[in-house]
């Protein structure tokens, strides 16, 4: 059997609790797409130097890769075997890790290519919110003739901060409210800087939950795929395959699509006032303007 060429590599990014898993699940329900659990290949193994703001490899990714393959019930493809061999030799020497930055990144992405081909698809979706900051690096790391797409999921800052603060209580490092605000401000500002790029697309949570068919349909069209009405019925099943047992904060994904105004339930009046005063609300409005301008081109 001739191997399929990879046509699309789709990265879904944004602030956690913005609706990234919902977007991922809807796209994964398309018959020509496949997706995986959050890989964390880059945010946990590469460090962005400041300056020159270029990532370097700082940790051997082989242990996480084994976990990732187990989460997705997959045997190691050839690219994973390459990484295992390096893990037993060169990647053990920490001073040498930076010299393997680009080659390791390309092999990690090749793992996803090979898994997609194994599943009989030519397009895959990778969703790790923090990979937002690695977009410039990913543009240099991905090879071949496939087109690379970056979907930024944007949600109102007050609701994101409330939901992120609550969800992070079960994480290894919980976020206080100020850290949540900082994360939203900085990540949304990064998305704003990317908004003119033709390889980047903005999805607003508020639109997705009020007009799911129209909003995800626009993404499907932008990806060059045909609309499939069954997506809205199949996405719950797709979500179930993308969420690991320890990600209980994602438990609502797969239910009826509706807007959740987390700040009303999770923040006191005093907390709402403080968060509102710290959020850079203009960033959201500017992104709305950019998205509108892109739609009229």
- Domain count for the chain, please give it: 1
Residue 288 lies in a domain: yes
Residue 205 lies in a domain: yes
Residue 216 lies in a domain: yes
Mark 61-89 as b/e (b = at least 16 C-beta within 10 Å): bbebbeebbebbebebbebbebbeebbee
pLDDT digits 0-9 by tens, 246-273: 777 666 665 666 667 667 778 889 999 9
Residue 265 lies in a domain: yes
Contact 137, 46 (CB under 8 A): yes
What's the whole-number mean pLDDT along residues 265-285?
A: 92
Phi-psi region of 173 (alpha: psi -120 to 50; beta: other; left: phi over 0): beta
pLDDT of residue 2: 44
Residue 94 lies in a domain: no
Rounded to the nearest integer, the mean pLDDT of the chain is 90
Pull the structure tokens for residue 185. Answer: 């401000």
Residue 164 lies in a domain: yes
| Domain membership of residue 283 as a residue range | 8-34+123-295
Contacts (Cβ under 8 Å, ≥6 apart) of 254 = 25, 235, 236, 237, 239, 240
Residue 238 lies in a domain: yes
The CATH number of the domain holding residue 277 is: 3.40.50.300
pLDDT digits 0-9 by tens, 18-72: 999 999 999 999 999 999 999 999 999 999 988 777 899 999 999 999 999 999 9
pLDDT of residue 145: 75
pLDDT of residue 297: 47
Residue 128 lies in a domain: yes
The predicted model scores a pTM of 0.92
Place of tokens 């609300």: 281
């Amino acid at each position: 059997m001739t191997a399929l060429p990879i046509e699309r590599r789709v990265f879904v990014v944004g602030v956690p609790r913005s609706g990234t898993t919902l977007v991922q699940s809807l796209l994964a329900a398309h018959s020509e797409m496949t997706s995986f659990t959050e890989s964390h290949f880059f945010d946990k193994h590469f460090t962005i130097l400041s300056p020159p703001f270029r990532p370097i490899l700082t940790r051997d990714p082989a242990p996480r890769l084994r976990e990732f393959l187990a989460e997705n019930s997959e045997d190691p493809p050839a690219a994973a075997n390459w990484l295992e061999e390096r893990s037993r030799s060169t990647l053990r020497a920490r001073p040498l890790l930076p010299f393997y930055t680009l080659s390791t990144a390309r092999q990690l992405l090749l793992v996803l290519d090979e898994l997609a081909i194994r599943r009989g698809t030519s397009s895959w979706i990778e969703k790790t919110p923090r990979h937002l900051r690695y977009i410039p690096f990913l543009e240099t790391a991905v090879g071949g003739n496939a087109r690379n797409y970056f979907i930024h999921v944007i949600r109102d800052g007050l609701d994101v901060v409330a939901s992120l603060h609550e969800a992070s209580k079960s994480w290894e490092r919980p976020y206080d409210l100020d850290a949540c605000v900082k994360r939203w401000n900085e990540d949304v500002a990064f998305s704003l800087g990317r908004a003119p790029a033709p390889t980047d697309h903005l999805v607003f949570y508020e639109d997705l939950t009020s007009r799911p068919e129209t909003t995800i349909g626009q993404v499907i069209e932008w990806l060059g795929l045909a609309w499939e009405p069954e997506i809205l019925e199949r996405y719950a099943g797709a979500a179930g395959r993308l969420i690991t047992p320890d990600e209980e904060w994602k438990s609502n994904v797969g239910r009826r699509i509706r807007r959740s105004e987390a700040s009303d339930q999770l923040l006191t009046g005093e907390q709402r006032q403080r968060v509102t005063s710290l959020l850079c609300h203009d960033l959201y409005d500017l992104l709305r303007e950019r998205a509108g301008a892109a739609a009229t081109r």
